Amino acid sequence: MSTPLRLASREDLRAWCTHIRQSGGTVGFVPTMGALHAGHRSLARASRERGLTTLASIFVNPMQFGPNEDFDRYPRSLDTDADALEREGVAAIFAPSVEEMVSAGDRTTVSVRELTQHFCGPFRPGHFDGVSTVVARLFSLVGPCVAFFGRKDYQQVAVIRRMTTDLAMPIEVVACPTLRDEDGLAMSSRNRYLNPAARHQALSLARGLHAASEAYHAGERRADSLVFLARQEVVSCMDSVDYVALGDADSLAPLAGTVLRAPAVLAIAASLGGTRLIDNIVFGIDPSPIGKHP
Amino acid sequence: MSTPLRLASREDLRAWCTHIRQSGGTVGFVPTMGALHAGHRSLARASRERGLTTLASIFVNPMQFGPNEDFDRYPRSLDTDADALEREGVAAIFAPSVEEMVSAGDRTTVSVRELTQHFCGPFRPGHFDGVSTVVARLFSLVGPCVAFFGRKDYQQVAVIRRMTTDLAMPIEVVACPTLRDEDGLAMSSRNRYLNPAARHQALSLARGLHAASEAYHAGERRADSLVFLARQEVVSCMDSVDYVALGDADSLAPLAGTVLRAPAVLAIAASLGGTRLIDNIVFGIDPSPIGKHP
């Protein structure tokens, strides 16, 4: 493996991507906020396995953090991240400064309606607008590509997929499976905020999803029962639970009170000692096993 | 001149534009709502004069019309338009159906803040979101290009320019001068709604701008005086006046009560017999003479 090229400016990024395409290649794009873990590395690997020329971006996007969220303390580890990306065969890294990505006179927002009203939407006002706007900007710079996202951020992928379709962007969005540690905890850059005791309690998210999954595979289709099974694992372990909710797998529209007939996603957000964690499992598309005995 | 190619689908459009670029050409893009007049033709000519391969789109975009606006009666004249474009050496025409451009599950909006609060913004709620969203979609389909717009829709060009900058789109936006009929009336597809008497009264817009322009060139720099000169021509002739306003040429921020120091735009919107007309003149960038004795 050779050291990934470091692209410093928007112009460098655009020129490099154009060059790759003109040379007959296809750009595989892995947008990240850094603090990379095996989940991110699996995205780069998915790109490599498709024979793409992989570009990773590392940008902690201030637009997607609320005023009381963890933008300042969000982990930053560029050199370690670059080493990890090199081992995954990433060809280039775009790690812009905030000034490079957010111009002073910026007044444009890309918003996706409805999907952003569910799950995390009410708890993180403005978050998804921040995500869709910065991703639209990155997609404009990168140009036609295959973009890889982790399914742990299920709602984020749904929003980005909707945006690329609606704005007719020449982007193929690929959602990759959630990676989990041995104990079942979904990998997240925010897991490093957890001490061992907190981490033990945080396993309740995966345990709740696992309980619902077992019931689903045993034939349970009542949304409220599946939510109840997950919720009861989580409420006793976490400081606060934003939601445990079942939504339509595409629109994310709430399925409370219904009997599942179409693919659905069971999603959880809950906090512990100031660390907010999310996790989800999809029913009816992909069994997506969430690990052994979480 | 050969007959312009008719591109029927999004896929055809994208493929044709990619082919032009791969052949070493540059796409000159003229987005229109059809009902073409000499102003539109001058955009195609500007593209040809730069040696570009010209693409025109014709799409009456429902998203940019309010519920009480003239979407249904907006003039449509595709065959005449195609002939006119052929005479201007346009290489291809994209004239999609509403179904082709607006998908049923569409939930994404591109919004530009602040600039859209001035001038027409308060009078046409949602209009500029409709414009920026459909233009973003067209730009995604067309890809890197030079796009030509008429300066008669000054606020529209400012919004689109801001959007392309903020979303880092690979698009050069060119604003072309307003074209006027012999009598000074700014060309507009909506002029065909005017009977001769109404047309005579509509000349008050150009006359008002001309009066302000003469004063500006004689040294007047007080915003309120320039606005007063324009307004007094318009109020007596038009049924209703939405605004006569001076704004900063870039941000469009109101300049009422100030003394002009930077480039500024004087803009008017007024209605007559249900037809809403707009016009503008720019001070301090380009004298942009508005015709002889309007």
pLDDT digits (tens, 9 = 90+) for A159-215: 999 999 999 999 999 999 999 999 999 999 999 999 999 999 999 999 999 999 999
Judged against a pLDDT cut of 60, whether residue A292 lies above it is answered with no
Residue of B114, B112, B64 lying closest to B252 (CA atoms)? B114
| Contact between A140 and A164 (Cβ < 8 Å) | no
On whether both A143 and A225 belong to a single domain, the answer is: no
Task: Give pLDDT, residue B1.
Answer: 63
Does residue B252 belong to any structural domain of this protein?
Answer: yes
User: How far is the CA of B204 from the CAs of A87, A96, A223, B54, B197, in angstroms?
Assistant: 70, 52, 65, 35, 12
On whether both B159 and B207 belong to a single domain, the answer is: no
On whether both B159 and B39 belong to a single domain, the answer is: yes
Whether chain B has a CB inside 8 Å of the CB on A63: the answer is no
Q: Which amino acid is at A200?
A: H
Q: What angle do CA A199, A204, A209 make, to 5 degrees?
A: 135
Do B107 and A166 make contact, defined as CB atoms within 8 angstroms? yes
b/e B173-182 (16+ beta carbons within 10 angstroms → b): bbbbbbbbbe
- Domain final residue, candidates A176, A198, A215: A176
What is the crossing angle of helices A38-49 and A78-87, to 10°? 40
Does residue B237 belong to any structural domain of this protein?
Answer: yes
Residue B274, classed as helix, strand or coil, is coil
A167 contact residues in B (CB cutoff 8 A)? 108, 110, 133, 136-137, 140
Does residue A288 belong to any structural domain of this protein?
Answer: no
On whether both A21 and A163 belong to a single domain, the answer is: yes
Judged against a pLDDT cut of 90, whether residue A91 lies above it is answered with yes
Whether chain B has a CB inside 8 Å of the CB on A7: the answer is no
Do B108 and A110 make contact, defined as CB atoms within 8 angstroms? yes
- What residues contact B108, with CB distance under 8 A and at least 6 apart? A110, A111, A112, A113, A132, A162, A163, A166, A167, B133
Is the alpha carbon torsion for A214, A216, A222, A227 positive or negative?
positive
B167 contact residues in A (CB cutoff 8 A)? 108, 110, 133, 136-137, 140
Q: Span A263-273, mean pLDDT? A: 97
- Domain final residue, candidates B116, B146, B176: B176
Residue B109 Cα, gap to closest chain A Cα (Å): 5
Q: If contacts are CB pairs under 8 Å, which of residues 124-163 in chain A contact chain B?
A: 132-133, 136-137, 140-141, 143, 162-163
Task: Give pLDDT, residue A25.
Answer: 98
A109 contact residues in B (CB cutoff 8 A)? 110-111, 113
- Nearest by CB to residue B112, choosing from A107, A112, A166, is A107
Q: Band the pLDDT of A287: cuts 50, 70, 90.
A: very low
For the stretch A14-63, pLDDT in tens is 999 999 999 999 999 999 999 999 999 999 999 999 999 999 999 999 99
Task: Give pLDDT, residue A1.
Answer: 63
Whether chain B has a CB inside 8 Å of the CB on A173: the answer is no
- Domain final residue, candidates B154, B176, B198: B176
Whether chain A has a CB inside 8 Å of the CB on B213: the answer is no
Q: What angle do CA B111, B75, B53 make, to 5 degrees?
A: 65
Do B103 and A165 make contact, defined as CB atoms within 8 angstroms? yes
For the stretch B116-126, pLDDT in tens is 999 999 999 99
Mean pLDDT in runs of 10 for chain B (294 residues)?
A: 90 98 97 96 98 97 94 93 96 96 91 98 97 98 98 98 97 97 96 95 98 96 98 97 97 96 96 96 66 33
Whether chain A has a CB inside 8 Å of the CB on B106: the answer is yes
Residue B135 Cα, gap to closest chain A Cα (Å): 9
Number of domains in chain A: 2
pTM (two decimals): 0.94
User: How far is the CA of B294 from the CAs of B49, B157, B242, in angstroms?
Assistant: 29, 24, 21
Q: How far apart are CA A96 and CA A73, in angstroms?
A: 18
Whether chain A has a CB inside 8 Å of the CB on B14: the answer is yes
On whether both A159 and A228 belong to a single domain, the answer is: no
Q: How far apart are CA B22 and CA B48, in angstroms?
A: 19
User: How far is the CA of B247 from the CAs of A108, B3, B205, B250, in angstroms?
Assistant: 20, 43, 17, 8
Give the best residue of B16, B22, B23, B107 to mutate against chain A (max A CB count within 10 A). B107
Task: Give pLDDT, residue B235.
Answer: 97
Does residue A43 belong to any structural domain of this protein?
Answer: yes
Nearest chain B residue to A10 by CA: give it: B168
Q: How does the average pLDDT of chain A come out, rounded?
A: 94
Q: How far apart are CA A264 and CA A118, in angstroms?
A: 13
Q: What is the interface pTM, i.e. ipTM, of the complex?
A: 0.94
Q: What tokens does A14 get?
A: 């655009």
Q: How far apart are CA B228 and CA B226, in angstroms?
A: 5
Q: What CATH number corresponds to the domain at position B268?
A: 3.30.1300.10
On whether both A168 and A207 belong to a single domain, the answer is: no
On whether both A151 and A196 belong to a single domain, the answer is: no
Does residue B273 belong to any structural domain of this protein?
Answer: yes
On whether both B22 and B120 belong to a single domain, the answer is: yes
Whether chain A has a CB inside 8 Å of the CB on B48: the answer is no
A110 contact residues in B (CB cutoff 8 A)? 108-111, 167
Q: How far apart are CA A132 and CA A138, in angstroms?
A: 10
On whether both B33 and B60 belong to a single domain, the answer is: yes
- Nearest by CB to residue A140, choosing from B132, B141, B167, is B167
- What residues contact A200, with CB distance under 8 A and at least 6 apart? none
On whether both A232 and A95 belong to a single domain, the answer is: no
On whether both A140 and A17 belong to a single domain, the answer is: yes
A57 contact residues in B (CB cutoff 8 A)? none
Q: Band the pLDDT of A289: cuts 50, 70, 90.
A: very low
Q: What CATH number corresponds to the domain at position A73?
A: 3.40.50.620
User: How far is the CA of B290 from the CAs of B161, B178, B197, B202, B203, in angstroms?
Assistant: 23, 8, 21, 14, 12
For the stretch A92-145, pLDDT in tens is 999 999 999 987 789 999 999 999 999 999 999 999 999 999 999 999 999 999
Q: How far apart are CA A112 and CA B168, in angstroms?
A: 19
Does residue A289 belong to any structural domain of this protein?
Answer: no
For the stretch B14-63, pLDDT in tens is 999 999 999 999 999 999 999 999 999 999 999 999 999 999 999 999 99
Do A140 and B169 make contact, defined as CB atoms within 8 angstroms? yes
| Contact between A17 and A143 (Cβ < 8 Å) | yes
Task: Give pLDDT, residue B239.
Answer: 97
Does residue A244 belong to any structural domain of this protein?
Answer: yes
Does residue B293 belong to any structural domain of this protein?
Answer: no
Q: How far apart are CA B75 and CA B12, in angstroms?
A: 26
Containing domain of residue A254, as a range? 189-283
Q: Span A281-293, mean pLDDT? A: 59
B163 contact residues in A (CB cutoff 8 A)? 108
Judged against a pLDDT cut of 80, whether residue A294 lies above it is answered with no
On whether both A171 and A193 belong to a single domain, the answer is: no
User: In the annotation, is A40 catalytic?
Assistant: yes
